[in-house]
Amino acid sequence: MRHRLSIILSALKLPRSTYYHWKRYQPSQHERVDNQLKEKIKLIWENNYRAYGYPRITMVLRKSGICVGSKRILRLMREMEIHSLMNRRFKKPGTHVDHSQRPNLIKHQPNARIWRADITYLELRPGTWVYLSSIYEPKVHQVLAFKIGRQMEATLVVETINQALECHQKPQYFHSDMGSQYTSNEVETLLERHQISHSYSK
């Protein structure tokens, strides 16, 4: 065995000390944590249609209780050679409205606690779209929750609202456009159950 090892090391032009250093090598605590993070990053990335970049993956990790910096996540994603597949161009077609215009309740409420909701259309590749539902609180300049899905349905909005309610104090007003997802019975019932007033924009 030792003779064969010498032949292999000679062919690779590696000193014997390098081989034994490699054999005795143990990853540091920092490297072990990095490897654990890489597994979580890849899982989040794949479970979200490979559309999430390092900012959203960082947010998901923080929401799960893992305190980590976005620069570290960016570095690890580069090492893994993965990135958001989202096309930087985005297109938002006109909103489909099923109802007559409903009131804008926040127009004269500058100090009220408000959640603003939106759905963004993301093109992963030509002809392949996913939909990002998000909730933003202007007063604290923070995205409170987001969900991504292949179908733009009321369920996507309901899941986003529930995610926000799990971690944040409910608002006085939930403000959205008049899209059919937001005016659906599922969304209206959820807001009524939590005693949140629904405000609308055009």
pLDDT digits (tens, 9 = 90+) for 80-138: 999 988 755 454 555 555 567 789 999 888 889 999 999 988 887 777 888 999 999 99
Bridge partners, residue 115, by sequence: 174
Residue closest to 70 by CA, chosen among 42, 41, 49: 41
Domain ranges of the chain: 26-80, 114-200
CA distance 138 to 167: 17
Residue type, 109: Q
Question: What is the structure's pLDDT at 108?
Answer: 86
User: Cβ distance 89 to 53 under 8 Å?
Assistant: no
Tokens of 81: 């050679």
The CATH T-level fold of domain 114-200 is Nucleotidyltransferase; domain 5 (3.30.420)
Residue 84 has, within 13 A of its CA and on its CB side, a CA count of: 17
For the chain, residues with pLDDT lower than 50 are 89, 91
Nearest to 103 by CA among 178, 51, 187: 178
- Nearest-angstrom CA–CA distance, 54 and 45: 9
Q: What is the pLDDT of residue 181?
A: 93
| pTM confidence score | 0.68
Q: Torsions phi, psi of 178, nearest 5? A: -95, 20
Give the pLDDT confidence score for residue 125 in this predicted structure: 76
Torsion 158-164-170-174 (CA) sign: negative
Strand arrangement of the beta sheet that strand 114-125 belongs to: 142-149, 128-137, 114-125, 173-176, 197-200
Is residue 164 within 8 A of residue 176, CB to CB? The reply is no
Q: Residue 27: left if φ>0, alpha if ψ -120 to 50, beta else—which one?
A: beta
